[in-house]
Amino acid sequence: MLDFKMILIVGLVAMNIDENVKNLLFELIRIPSIRGNEKPVIQLLYNRLLPLVDECHLVPMDNSIMNDPDYAFKLENFSYRDTCNLECIIKGYGGGKSVLFNAHVDVVPVSAGQKDPFTPIMKDGFVFGRGACDDKGQIAALYALVLFLKESGLRPKGDLIFHFVVEEENGGNGTLAMLRRGIKADAVIVVESSELNIITAVRGAVWFNLEVFGKSGHSGSGDTVSALQESVQAMAILRDYHDKVLRESRGNSLFDKFRDPMPITFGQLYAGDWPATTPAKAVLKGVFGFLPNKTRSEIQEGMRGIIRAKGDAWLREHFNLSFPMLNLDGGIIDADHPLVLSLRKAVKKNNYPGDIAAMTAACDACLYHNLTKIPTVVFGPGAVKYAHTNEERIALKEILSAGMILKDFVVSCY
């Protein structure tokens, strides 16, 4: 191996990696990087990583990405002015596979009952705060990877490429913009909460917007149709359709362990202006999950078709179903792919099981799976059950273990 040639920084020469990683995570959590406010996080990472890598580039987002057919969750009067992704590169000395790591800097809004979400707290070995396990703890794990490489004095065989992206939570627009630039890599690891299991299968999802139209009138009139009541009927129809798709999707052992690996979520319902007035319009918003044996277009057409087929005479002719937000196909890679086997070897070397698992949520891995065809897995510290909750947390020990696992992986690569 060649020496890992990087600029020496005061304080990192004889570094306490644990403390540096924790401090970075605390700084990341303190920044409320909800959509549109990611710039300070990107700038912080740029400043931290610039002296540690061979190349570090701010990659501006352009408003033209909003016209991309795979763009998600378009907002009125939104602009990407001053919004950037970040790309960092550590050059390999040759003979190894190039690996691209992806992690996102945006977080979801504050959860109900979440106290001081942007004030990080360390308790019983866990760091608490919004973004701790989705996805700032994973960013900290990649920082640990870089520091472990520096400490070891080793340069990897193949290039390491890091994509720190915006807007994963609303559909992956930051990653989409990076992919549209063109990328070259032999493998991708999307760093998300996986409890240090290796996720080889990720479900897809479509976020839907169902408008149901009724016939408004006074509560004493007999000549009305409640859009709200019709929307409740639509929910039952879509629930039955979900159950049918789930039955047709059984047979994959990674997903079959879950009671419902592809939930349908009815998240928002708006209707009516007055209790004694039949509502003329109801708007239902939600998410329909599906497994990799189905495509988003099949699910979208299936949802529209089942309402037309099963709805009552009024509903069949008085609805509009659209998919203006997140729409991602699922993805799957063979468990015996060299990427998986090599990563699993590194996990086991660090005394973790290295189980092969499936993800019952969607993430940016689907974009790499389906738009680049580059072998892709999901791996990282933290548990999904804490993401988006008022008790979001991640174990510092697990972050450091993830960094060491990834260091061992890239040194062997593959």
Does residue 219 surpass a pLDDT of 90?
no
Please report which confidence band the pLDDT of residue 106 belongs to, taking 50, 70 and 90 as the band edges.
very high
Distance CA 155, CA 91 (A): 8
Q: What average pLDDT does this structure show over 226-241?
A: 98
Mean pLDDT calculated for residue range 365-378: 95
Q: What pLDDT shows up at residue 10?
A: 36
| DSSP codes, 32-44 | ---TT--HHHHHH
DSSP secondary structure, 357-392, as one string: EEESS--THHHIIIII---EEE--SS-GGGTTSTT-
Query: Which residues have CB under 8 Å from 284's CB, separation 6+?
Result: 208, 209, 210, 211, 212, 231, 234, 235, 266, 268, 269
Q: Are 115 and 99 in contact (CB under 8 A)?
A: no
Exposure string (b/e) for 253-292, b if CB count within 10 Å is 16 or more? ebbeeeeebbbbebeebebbeeeeebbbbbebbbbbbbbb
Rounded Cα–Cα distance for residues 169 and 171 (Å): 6
Pairing status of strand 121-123 against strand 126-128: antiparallel
CB 278 within 8 A of CB 224: yes
Please give the helix or strand (H or E) that residue 189 lies within, else none: strand 187-190
| The predicted structure's pLDDT at residue 220 | 83
**CATH classification code of 205-328:** 3.30.70.360
* Mean pLDDT of the region 79-84: 95
Q: How confident is the model at residue 413 (pLDDT cuts 50, 70, 90)?
A: confident
Whole-number Å distance between alpha carbons of 303 and 325: 16
> Out of 1-15, 91-105, 249-263, 359-373, which region has the weakest mean confidence (pLDDT)?
1-15
In the chain, residues under CATH classification 3.40.630.10 are: 17-202+330-412
The alpha-helical segments, DSSP class H, found in 183-283 are 227-249, 253-256
Q: What is the pLDDT of residues 283-299, one digit of tens each?
A: 999 999 999 999 999 99
* Residue 282 backbone phi and psi in degrees, to 5: -130, 140
CATH fit for domain 17-202+330-412, picks 3.10.620.30, 3.40.630.10, 3.40.50.2300, 3.40.50.150: 3.40.630.10
Residue 367 has pLDDT above 70, yes or no: yes
- What is the distance between the alpha carbons of residues 335 and 403, in angstroms, rounded to a whole number? 22
Q: What is the Cα–Cα distance from 97 to 345, expressed in whole angstroms? A: 16
The helix/strand/coil state of 321 is strand
Which pLDDT belongs to residue 7? 39
pLDDT on residue 2: 38
Closest CA to 170 of 31, 324, 32: 324
Residue 149 vs residues 114, 166, 338: alpha-carbon distances, Å: 36, 26, 22
pLDDT at 281 over 60: yes
Q: What are the residues whose beta carbons fall under 8 Å from the beta carbon of 244, sequence distance 6 or more? A: none
Q: Which two tokens stand for residue 55?
A: 């190349």
Omega before residue 82 within 30° of 0, cis: no
Return d(Cα 289, Cα 258) in angstroms, integer.
Answer: 13
Q: What is the mean pLDDT of the chain?
A: 94
- Using the predicted structure, report yes or no on whether residue 324 has a pLDDT greater than 90: no
- What pLDDT is recorded for position 279? 96
The CA distance from 44 to 39, in Å, is 9
**15 — pLDDT class (breaks 50, 70, 90):** low
| Global model pTM greater than 0.85 | yes
The alpha carbon dihedral of 65, 66, 67, 70 has a sign of: positive
| Location of structure tokens 């308790």 | 123
**Stretch (H or E) spanning 399:** helix 396-412
Give residue-wise pLDDT tens across range 176-208.
999 999 999 999 999 999 999 999 999 999 999
**343 has pLDDT over 50:** yes
pLDDT in tens, 129-168: 999 999 999 999 999 999 999 999 989 999 999 999 999 9
pLDDT over 90 (residue 66): yes
Q: What is the pLDDT of residue 382?
A: 97
- The CATH 3.30.70.360 portion of the chain extends over 205-328
* 275 contact partners, CB below 8 Å, separation of at least 6: 219
Residue 9 has pLDDT above 60, yes or no: no
Write the single-letter amino acid at 78. Answer: F
Q: What are 85-97's pLDDT values in tens digits?
A: 999 999 999 988 9
